[in-house]
Structure 1
Amino acid sequence: MQASAFGIAILWSVPGMSQADQTLPLPLTGSAYRVARQAYGSYDSHRYQASVGYAREAIRQRPDVMSLRLLLASALEAQGDRRAAVRAIEDAIKALGPEPALRARRSALLAIIASGANSPSDPNALTGNMAKTAQRAYRAYAKHDYDDAIAAANEVLAARPDVMPLYLLVIDALTAQGRDLDAYNAVIAATQRGGDNPGLRARRRFIGARLGPVAASEAYDALRRGDTDIAISRARAAIGYAPNVPGARDLLIDALIQANRFDEADQAATDAISANPSALAPWLQRGAIRERLGQRDASLADFAHAMQLQDATQQEQRNGRIVIADMALATGDPQRALDALNGLDPDGDATDLMIAVRRQKARRALTSSVAANTADLPMPQLDCTRIDSGILCTLHPFDPAYAQYAAAARAYDQHDYPLAVAQAREAVRIAPDDPVHRLLLIQALASNGDQAESKQEAANLIESGMIDTLPSMNAAYFASNAEQPALAARYYNEAVRNDELPPSSLLDAGYANLNAGAAPVAASYFRRGIDADNNGDISLQPQQAFETRRTMSELDRTWGVNASVGYRPTGDQTTFVASPGSTADKSVQAGAEAYWRPFGYFDGHTIELYARAYETLYSKAGNTTGTPSLEGALGVRAKPFASQNLVFAFERIVPLGSAVQPDWLGRIAYSNGFGTDLRVDTPSWWTGQLYAEAGHYITHPDNYATFSGELGRSYRLDAIDPHLVAFPYAVLGGDYNTQINNRASMGAGVGVNLRYWFREDAYHAPRSFVDFSLQYRSKIVGDDRAKGVFFNASFSY
């Protein structure tokens, strides 16, 4: 019996209203439980006065139990005192807050009071059997026997159709049974028979608010499966039930557009605007419809009004501007498209690229003639989702693959890259000419580790010509990804001219120009990037900033001076100013060289003119030393491959001392290594370097070759100076000379190198160094020249 009384307590609560987020009261126990049982029992026995008393006592003991509050209101109403019932509900709202069930119960009571409905105290002066039948209807209603209540009320109404309270009782009983459509039809029938009144209006609104979302949901389902006739019918029904049900008007307009019923769509949009003039979507939809109908001036007026609305969210406003821009581009008015997009700064969402693509299309269209085509206009589309009160719809620009693109974008944001790739592929398949979809696919492939395919897709984008529709920055990025530096540099430079290059892309622009062979332009970008880092506009990692300055040092170098002195020179890169070749003599040699790069960096293909002089200071074998051994050289060397340290040299040996013979010398050298530069991000790092050289003397034929390989770990000596680096290493070295009896030798050992870097500034890493190297090798093959102590000191400026 308690359950039936509780059913009365929630009769007017809103069905489906979730209470999941509410704090549930503790179960009734003890005295409160016993009193509550008496309250429910009295109610079910129709002893309403006793039920009121017990309910009040139970509420005093447990004021937090909402069902007791509703029971009190029901008992008061059953006594015929609906105003007291309203006061009881208002007390409950003050104590428990505006719970949906309480608010709905209060609204229902107030509506019934306003209409004077289903009160057994005044059955419109019915007499005799009709009065008894009417009383039976009211008693059945109070007992929740709604079928009997409806049957008894209809029996009276058949003879007395003027008794409005019984119509209201039938409507309420049908509503309590969940028969909303029958209840709504009963409201309409009662209105047609007896005219409208506050009670009928209240019920029409209440029941319509329940039917409207259902009809809107049916319209949404029909539209998704392409059944526009059903969608139109159900959307109109939803509006009839509840004119303000969310999404119904949007769905009706969209369904009419899809059905090519543009005149009706125009009227539906006009009705939507009348219902809510501040809503953005119907203004945009009507503007597009009127453009489709050839009503250009009316369309422009609607779009202009839409741009003035402020109630929409920022996302909706941005999408609306894109819709207007699409329509302008399609009708051959690129300047209006630019005007629509004016002032839309990047917001970090998906609309950024959409806006940028359309701006680029508009700029390019300004230089060409585009014919209007009203039969193929990009009509805006709806993106809808279900909510409790109806369908929530947002308007977005035309995109036949919007669902797939949106799914790919969501997956990408959630780092589900395989799903993002799959959805982006489908979007590209559906709309292959949309560069936005292709860009997402390229990014998703790269993030998923499919670098080769990402590069291929970027190349396809370029080959298709769609890259020209992209904003300069996006085009530059994808040209770089496709390993087309010249094209990337072109777009980066275009972005600069359009004032679109962000500081964060300055270095990328620099390297693109550098790889494209525009070293001076690259240097200007690197300078700006360094300035941006120093000014706080960007934040480079210390090593990245250092490497940028190192690149600047290489770009700006046009000349240099080197000098060295060594005991048994080792044939590595730090002894390049010593006498070329090898010797079995344990000697000390010294030399100096100056060089000039007439073409500067020359895209990494450096050409140097050089002059060198060197002499032997000491010879254990008693060979010529001092001034008679002074030898000069004039030559040219070239590095033909930018990515490989392969150098060819040809020089004239000039005798400066009496013991020197003139000659011609051709040389080839190769070097490679890692970790040979100063680093600022770590105090120690692995270092390896290899140097090999071969040469041929022409006048006095002689062939020689020498090589040296070192592997170890470099340590920055910060306690002394952060520019000082110690490098202990293992070494393998050897040489070959046709003028020595034992032509080949090889040795291995250990060594230590100490290098001090200097001459740096804000734009350049240290460009000069002093270097000291000491080795000891053991012979592997050959004669004794492969073993012993080797020392070298060098200077590079």
Structure 2
Amino acid sequence: MRPRGEARRSGAARRGRSSANVLRGRAWRLADQGFRAYNRGRYELALQRAEAALAIRPDVPRLQLLRVYALQKLGRNDEAARLAAQAIAQGHGSPELQTALINLRPAPDTGGAPATEAYRKGFPIATEAYTLYNDGKYAEAAQLAERAVRIDPSQGAWSLLWLNALENQQKFDDVVQYGNVAMALGAPNRDAIMARMRLARQAIANQHAQDAYAELNKGRLRQALAQARDAVRIAPDVASHRLLLIGVLQAMRDDAAAEKAATDALSVDEESTAVQLLRAYLRQSLGEPAKAQEDIDAVLALDWISPEQRRNARLIGADLALAAGDKPRALALLQPLPADDKQAEARRAQAGRGWGSWGDSGADLLAAHAPLQLCRDTPYGTVCDLAPWDDPGSDSPASRAYAAYGRQEYPKAIALARRAVAEQPDSEANQNLLTTTLASGTAQEQQEAMDRLNTALAAKPNDAGLLRQRGYLYNARKQYDLALKDFVAARSTGDAPETNMLDEAYATAAVGNRPAAAAMLRQAIDDADAGTITLDRQQRFDTRSAIANFSREWGVNASVGYRGARSASNGLAGQPISVPGNSVFSTVEAYWRPPDFLNSSNRTFEVYGRLSNTLRSGTTVTGAQVVDNPCGGTINVGESTFKGTAGWPSTTGAIGARFTPDAGTNLTFGIERQFLLGTATRSGALNAGPDSVRCALNNQAATIDYQGNKASGGWQAYMLYGFYEGTALRLDRSSWYTMEGYLQAGYTLLDHGVAYTERDAAGNVLGTGDGRLRRGQGFAAGEVRIGRSMLTSYSDRLVVFPHITVAGDWYSTQGRASGVPLAGASSFALAGNGTSWSAGAGVGVNLRYWLNEDRYNAQRSHADLALQYRARLGGEADRAKGFFVTLSYSY
């Protein structure tokens, strides 16, 4: 950290500082191995690695200090003192090395009378303290050193002995406390004491940081945030602690707070390139692309950064520009990079294709292409840099595996995780990473993940993290009862994160206990309000949406539709009359979900009742034309008009049941009994198919009417496949990609008794009889809508969905009348048998307003207004083209 009044160093000085602070290649690896060995108590190995590293880089004080500390731990104090003095004489010293030398060389007895009475009294106590210290008895040494200091505080070496003895016991808080006491008593070596206190504070901060990482790995974000804030408060000049705090806030999905933390970090060190680039990413995620690019420019303006850092800044800036849809800016950033730079070329190609087009949103791209945070331990502490998401030269396969996993590139993530484990098999984090990635792989890889988890849990049966990992894997394998058991066991350990409650609730719903799951999620809302669990705005909304879904037992859907051509799906005898023209149709349906039968978070079973009819029927005009005479020749037919039936006479009803066995596949099966309620649905005039029958009727100038009874009806069986992405309300962004569609197929059979009446042109009855009217129809229909949903400035509950659409249908109809009072032809096929299809495409817009919410439940109702215009692609023109308008309400 630089004092505010210090003049800016020259670029050359900064470059010199940068190169001195970084170990590379073999020297870095040896130093890293040495410090790790020292931390594990393997002092001989630490000494060997330190000496090997010093042979390459003798100018690094921390390596000198590592060698001295290792020798001291091995009891070779004289050698340690000699080498420390030698390093200092050669100009490779540091305050810490000076302190170590003083500690290794206790003040000798000059043989003469002590300078003061205090020194005479304190000297033997200090001598004994040194002896105890060198024997590793640090607690006793600290006690005696404190006594000596309080007797004669002018002996600075005794104060350092006291603090070193406390440090070796890892009593870092005491080092800070008693360092202040020693200076208050009058110790003359204030700089050395303050250096020791600074190291102690860093050690305290490091412990908070380690605790934060541990809590973060367990998913306990609130606890991780508190520890990260303490680490930054105690050691504000340590960049890795600042990055940790920013990372925790990102994990909590609080990008605004993370951006503020980055700004605070830059106020301490304005030349931290990692923090500046990370703030650029955060600003882009907050919808501030101009400010994001200002941060990129600030990094590029630094004259001391390495070519690799400059290149990475350009690539990251290009990613942010592409996510914002600013292709010129992206190309400008990439322009200085050579043509053979594969990463730059990939971004140039992406700019040519254009991110942010249909199917991709900037926010989704930003999340999938987040920069990598590459951190490494050095003799000067942890150093972090930011690299682009596809950095091939990263020395951290674990970081790249996490990034690939976040982009759902699971085979790549698995390969990188295997490499991370091969390089560091003792790393528990890498082992967990491999298990996590395997759980998203093939069935064979998922089984490997399960075997690893079972082995790990056999050794540590109460590990909450492992239990939760296995619970997620059981969920993926649809073994929901076992998943619930693991989430409950994780909670029982007391080490599960706060969000375990949510996982347990969803697993409870998956096994069929939806009411209990809803109750657990209500408790989560209460805990969030009380501050004991962290839910951001979108997480709270998703939780409330789940409550609304799990507690729902019944509902009502109503719709009114206007279309220039009515779909022939209701063109059967006994269905609402289907005629070309501007007609308005309605449907009202009520459904019930039995709470204790078949329903879970993954299955839905409903019984329902439905009424449908034509509210207003358009008029069909048939122009004058010449048609074939079924008896031979032709007939001139004049212009005629026809208006279809509307209102109650056109009403049909149905009672049915439908079942979705797996929400993952979203395939629904249904069966219903249909009722011909309106008089027009069960009566009409027969239109014979065979020419011989129509000729006989023409010769008599006769027609045949039919009339069914009130019990008339039919059966329909069907299956429906639906696919939906982005159709739910979002509160974490203003627009998002949306695709929805369905494909339905089924068969309807109407076979009921009717009374036939044959009449002549004057209305006289020529004959009557009882017979049957049978009509079967197979059908298939589908539609796809693709576009972007956007929140409006009017309300965050009003969503506009402009889209393109493609729709089609196919029908195969077979109808037959039997028992007809017509001489020689009592049974015949009806006209219109055969198949027909239509297909159309066009554009449309949908307005959806969400409503009916409370504290626990998100919006349980919505009103939709959909308008489309389709052009005919093929098939029946009257069905395929025209305006299609639907107003619907779901309660």
**Structure 1 length-normalised TM:** 0.48
Which structure has more helix as a fraction of its residues?
1
Q: Considering only CA atoms, is the larger Rg found in Structure 1 or Structure 2?
A: 1
**Structure 2 length-normalised TM:** 0.43
